[in-house]
Amino acid sequence: MRARSRDAASRIALALDDDDLAGSHDAGVDEVRAVAARVLALAARDRSVDTRILGLIAREPPPDARRIPWMRLDAEEVLVVPRLGALQAVAAFVREVEGETAALGAAVEWVHRPDPIR
């Protein structure tokens, strides 16, 4: 799914596992933070959008700290973040995530599906 997020046609912006949240994959941390900051700047224009999680991801953590200390994922869990434009067509984003997951032989259990931007 991470590779799919690099495709400009994909509705997936980020696919993160617990190592990413901990900072173990340092090569992409700056990219993740930069993308979160860009999305935060766009999302902040709409007062109805809850931007708290984006703000926490975009913020620089203290040295040697877990990058996102308040969130932990189990080995089989992945945090999938949609591109902002995908929030206009949430059903298509859901189909893409479920299709990518099925191709890996896994099933999706949604903790929270994104809400469409109106």
Give the pLDDT of residue 63.
67
Give the pLDDT of residue 82.
93
Radius of gyration of the chain (CA): 14
The answer to whether position 41 is within a domain reads: yes
> How many domains is the chain partitioned into structurally?
1
> Could you tell me the two tokens for 87?
């929030």
The answer to whether position 118 is within a domain reads: no
The answer to whether position 111 is within a domain reads: no
Q: What is the pLDDT of residues 4-51, one digit of tens each?
A: 889 999 999 999 999 888 876 566 777 888 888 999 998 888 888 888
Give the pLDDT of residue 61.
67
Alpha carbon dihedral 54, 29, 109, 103, in 10-degree steps, equals: 130
Closest CA to 32 of 70, 8, 61: 61
- Residue 61 amino acid letter: P
Q: Which domain does 56 fall in, by range?
A: 2-103
- Residue 117 amino acid letter: I
> Could you tell me the two tokens for 33?
């933070």
The answer to whether position 43 is within a domain reads: yes
Q: What is the pLDDT of residues 57-102, one digit of tens each?
A: 888 766 677 778 888 999 989 999 999 888 888 999 999 999 999 9
The answer to whether position 116 is within a domain reads: no
The answer to whether position 114 is within a domain reads: no
Distance, in Å, from the CA atom of 67 to the CA atom of 60, rounded to the nearest integer, reads: 8
The answer to whether position 34 is within a domain reads: yes
The answer to whether position 12 is within a domain reads: yes
